[in-house]
Structure 1
Amino acid sequence: MARGGGGGGAQNSPLREEHVTCVQSILDEFLQAYGSLIPVSTEEVVAKLEDIFQQEFSTPQRRVSVQQLLQSYQRLPGTALLRGFRVSYKRHVLTMDDLQTLYGPNWLNDQVMNMYGDLVMDAVPDKVHFFNSFFYDKLRTRGYEGVQRWTKN
């Protein structure tokens, strides 16, 4: 494989070591600026790489490589401090993994939905009731007896 930067073949090739180093620098900057990698997306990193190297990085192979780098960076021991970050409200505790479901087209998890439900009920206590996300499953599997105490008030 040629190491040169020109030509269409280089743009379709996997990321080179200099690209990987640049992605890590971009992620370091995001982490320092925001204290989290939640606001960064694969598209943003790809756009920065294209600006820096004046090459196309939006090919499927390169996009997957950038996405994998982003995911592996999030698992590095250096981000352990962020992994320990918690948001607490009443009996709910959200981790960074929970909060990451709020970014992009992801499925929300039960912890996020249940905490949000409590926030809504506290904001409008007389007009809203939010059933815990496990309510329907309990009702379906155990019947009324399994959930009758859930609405005692």
Structure 2
Amino acid sequence: MTRAWSLSMLFVLCGSVVAAGVLFRGAPGAAAVLLLLFGLLAGVHSPLVFPKSISAVEAQRRSAVDGWPIVFWRSGCKYCIRLRIRLGREAGRLHWVDIWRDPDGAAAVRAANDGNETVPTVVVAGRPHVNPDPRWIREQFVRSP
């Protein structure tokens, strides 16, 4: 679990150090802006931006029942963040598996990508799609309620 938060913690730590340096130079406004910026970066790269992660086994079970795709992701991945943001509210309907939290999910991604942990990997009807265009997912798989 710590691995998933490591990039966010690094942003907070670096932001605090940089903001403290700017504050000591007599620019409290700039320090506050920098701290806010680094805080936003930490939030975007944290697991908080994504829907609740489930295990790969549970995602496969749920996908078999409802037909929704499985998205394998990890925190800090800019392509995963882009996919999540572009899917908007519909992202909550997909089944999200954090490969840093679930060894079975990481193994599934490696099996689909010749041993590499390339994310996002979206599995639809048993077929993996590596880093698909969010528009494509919207057009193909995001159904309205």
Q: TM-score scaled by structure 2?
A: 0.25
Instruction: Name which structure has the greater RCO, CA cutoff 8 Å, separation 6+.
Output: 2
Q: TM-score scaled by structure 1?
A: 0.24
Bigger Rg, structure 1 or 2 = 1
